[in-house]
Amino acid sequence: MINSKVDHSQLGVTKKNELKVEETQHLNISRKTGVVGEKIWMGHMIAETSAESVPQHHQQSDTVHYVLKGKAVFFYGEGYENSVELNEGDFIYIPPYHPYIYKNVSNIESLDIVTTMAPYYQVVYVARNENIEIPRDVNKGEEVSIVRASDLNDLTNQTKFMPRKTAVQAPNLWIGRVTGEPSKDSGAHHHGEAETAGFIISGKTRILYGERYEDYEEFEPGDFLRVPPFLPHIERNVSNTDTVEFLTARNPRNIVANLDS
């Protein structure tokens, strides 16, 4: 499950035109990998107009879907009788071994979703009437939950000029949305034991790292990044006029250790 060819001690960069295509059982749904970490995965999923998935679950991985573009309906629960409509900016958390179905409700536009799984990328397709047994060692108290774009929680650790708002804190996965002010940076910090995956929603972000923070990588909308545990770095908005927005996900939780005095 872990990509042994990746140096997990280094900053990871995956440009939007370099994403790895994953096999699926869907004719009109594609899934691409952006981040493969030791304990987190993040990718991009596109469902064509009116496409509907087959039932699936993600074994022991906590999973969060973020609607980047379009409108989706998710079906879950016994007999898939529960349903919820998600719009752009909304999140849905799927606990381990919870089967679900999703559908692009538009017959005009595609549905774009950013998906995060922790600790691993795992997809198991099941029959609609199949009974899924949750192993004893998995937390059975977790439920599917929805967080609207307007309901993100800002009571969390912050880096200056880069406020982050929490969407979901699951047993193995924290995910939130970060906004960077024009010409500002986060200040030097690291994320302790947490491994971080990110996706750029809008704007251009520069991440500085290395000795005296002289090394850097630049990220544009659609790019993915991975920050290993304990790596000191600075996030910078290189625009004088526009904000930047990006998703940030961590396993096991949101840790921000500010290094500036």
Lowest pLDDT segment from 15-29, 30-44, 146-160, 241-255: 146-160
Q: Is residue 6 part of a domain?
A: no
Could you tell me if 128 and 187 lie in one domain? no
Q: Which of 120, 149, 178 is the last residue of a domain?
A: 149
Mean pLDDT of all residues in 7-31: 90
Q: Is residue 11 part of a domain?
A: no
For residue 53, what is the domain's CATH number? 2.60.120.10
The model's pLDDT over 168-193, given as tens digits with 9 standing for 90+, comes to 999 999 999 999 999 999 999 999 99
Could you tell me if 169 and 112 lie in one domain? no
> Is the confidence at residue 228, as pLDDT, over 50?
yes
The model's pLDDT over 205-214, given as tens digits with 9 standing for 90+, comes to 999 999 999 9
Could you tell me if 158 and 137 lie in one domain? no
> Is the confidence at residue 2, as pLDDT, over 50?
no
> Is the confidence at residue 140, as pLDDT, over 50?
yes
Could you tell me if 250 and 222 lie in one domain? yes
Q: State the Cα–Cα distance between residues 94 and 117, nearest whole angstrom.
A: 10
Could you tell me if 246 and 191 lie in one domain? yes
pTM for this entry: 0.95
Distance of CA 255 to the CA centre of its chain: 16
- For residue 174, the enclosing domain spans 151-258
Could you tell me if 82 and 131 lie in one domain? yes
Could you tell me if 44 and 82 lie in one domain? yes
Residue 211 backbone phi and psi in degrees, to 5: -60, 125
Q: Are strands 20-22 and 29-36 parallel, antiparallel or unpaired?
A: antiparallel
Quick one: pLDDT at residue 157? 55
Quick one: pLDDT at residue 178? 94
